[in-house]
Structure 1
Amino acid sequence: MDYTIAVVDDDPHIRELVEAYLRKENYRTIGLGSGEAALELLEGDPPHMWVLDLMLPGMDGYELCRRIRDTAEVPIIMISAKDSEVDKILGLELGSDDYLVKPFSPRELVARVKRQLQRLRRLQGMEEAPASSVRIDAGPLLLLPEERRVFWHSEEVDLTSKEYALLQLFAERPNRAYTREELLVQVWGDDYFGSDRAVDHLLKRLRKKIAGLPVEAVWGHGYRLRAEEGGACHEAAPSN
């Protein structure tokens, strides 16, 4: 598959350098100098992946990242001269998949792009594969894997691919405690080399969409979905 990557940076030298390295790997690129221009692309013919500068004129990279994540679960790599932990955490909380500090090696950026696209291919393969006919029923939470639909107290909830993958993992084995490392491997893949804080930020997004979701922290370990006994998987009723 030919992937298109949007490179959003107001510095034309950095933008052109990044695009040149990506094109050497046979990726199609679209160079943009502002968040506003990126929004036009998002609303028209969006790319498969975004590389965003944080400090953009007008709309900054944080806001642009949030807008992108509201519509799609495509990979986002944020680049910035800001190297504080707060900036990195904020970027992850808003939905970026990776954070690279300037000055950076273009080869390192290309390596990270490849890893993100490998995960995208794996995720696309999962979505195209035949899904199980089992419904997952954990108290007020209901998942229909065949349709990839989620209901909370009978109300349908719209989730991104990663949010759904995390929730399904919890719901398949309620009351089972997972470490952050286990969740990273299951949702992001075993080649993910970012911070395990990504789990915390994805869970935070999930809780915002499902108020009252009983996922609790297990001190010194990770997280689990608290559910009453018997809230496990059940065979789906046959359709008429």
Structure 2
Amino acid sequence: MNYHIGVVEDDKNIQDIVSAYLKKEGFEVTILGSAEEAWDIWESSPPDMWVLDIMLPGMDGYEFCRRIRNESEVPIIIISAKDDEIDKILGLELGGDDYLTKPFSPRELIARIKRLFKRSHPVRESNESSNNKVKVDHLLIYKNDRRIFWDGQEEEITTKEFDMLLLFAENVNRAFSREELLVKIWGEDYFGSDRAVDDLVKRIRKKFADIPLETVWGFGYRLRSDEEN
């Protein structure tokens, strides 16, 4: 499958470089110079992933990210010259799946795009496979399709919400430190604050009412169950 990537960036040099590398890897690419143009594309021919600059003319990238996330869980990689921790946290809080600071290596961008597609579009296998299903009380996860059901109802989730819930469900009653969660969910190359972990847990608790995702004070979190899967 040739994935379609929307690149929202107003710097012509970056547009040309990113476009060339993406096309070389076989991706279909649409370059947009503003969030307004990107929104028009979203409504007519939505990409499979967004590579989104923050500093844009008119609507900024944060607002565009928020609008997209209100409608879809399509993967979003944020690129920005802003390297302050608060900017990274804000981008992730608004629903970004990854954050890359300028200047960046095009090869690193390609690697992150492939990793994100691998997580969000895995090869589909039968949902009846016992190795594919993880069930903990009211939570049911189909790993290969990356689908999650709560009390029988399917929930729309982000890539990192899925990754965290699967990690907890496969290690029910085990406590994970914030540092462990950062490495396992965000990767070893993530250098942001562990506040990102707290924010992700907060979002999961809001979506899954009464989920027994407990705080282990002074340490981290665990998914509690009286009956291990």
Relative to the length of structure 1, the TM-score reads 0.74
Alignment of 1:1-240 (within 5 A): 1-121=1-121, 124-125=122-123, 127-132=124-129, 136-138=135-137, 141-143=138-140, 145=142, 148-151=147-150, 154=151, 156=153, 158-160=155-157, 162=159, 163-171=161-169, 173-180=171-178, 183=181, 193-195=189-191, 197=194, 198-227=196-225, 229-230=226-227, 232-233=228-229
- Root-mean-square deviation (Å): 3.2
Aligned amino acid, residue 194 of structure 1: Y
Q: Cα deviation per residue 1:109-164 (whole Å; 9 max; x = unaligned)? A: 3333333334344xx22x534345677353xx34364994523xx58362325334
| Displacement after TM superposition at 1:91 (Å) | 0.8
Gaps of 5+ in 2: none
**Mean CA deviation greater in 192-201 or 87-96:** 192-201
Q: Structure 1 168/78 Cα, relative in aligned 2: closer, same or farther at 3 Å?
A: closer
Q: Structure 1 199/33 Cα, relative in aligned 2: closer, same or farther at 3 Å?
A: same
The number of residue pairs the alignment matches comes to 222
Aligned amino acid, residue 79 of structure 1: I
Q: Cα deviation per residue 1:11-37 (whole Å; 9 max; x = unaligned)? A: 233222221222222222100111122
Q: Structure 1 169/111 Cα, relative in aligned 2: closer, same or farther at 3 Å?
A: closer
| Displacement after TM superposition at 1:171 (Å) | 4.0
| Displacement after TM superposition at 1:203 (Å) | 2.1
Task: Tell me if structure 2 keeps the 8 A contact 1:115–1:192.
Answer: no
- Percent identity between matched residues is 54
Bigger CA radius of gyration: 1
Q: Structure 1 149/87 Cα, relative in aligned 2: closer, same or farther at 3 Å?
A: closer
Relative to the length of structure 2, the TM-score reads 0.77
In the alignment, the residues of structure 1 paired with residue 48 and residue 102 of structure 2 have an alpha-carbon distance, to the nearest angstrom, of: 23
Gaps of 5+ in 1: 234-240
SS at match of 1:224: strand
Q: Structure 1 219/27 Cα, relative in aligned 2: closer, same or farther at 3 Å?
A: same
| Displacement after TM superposition at 1:46 (Å) | 1.6
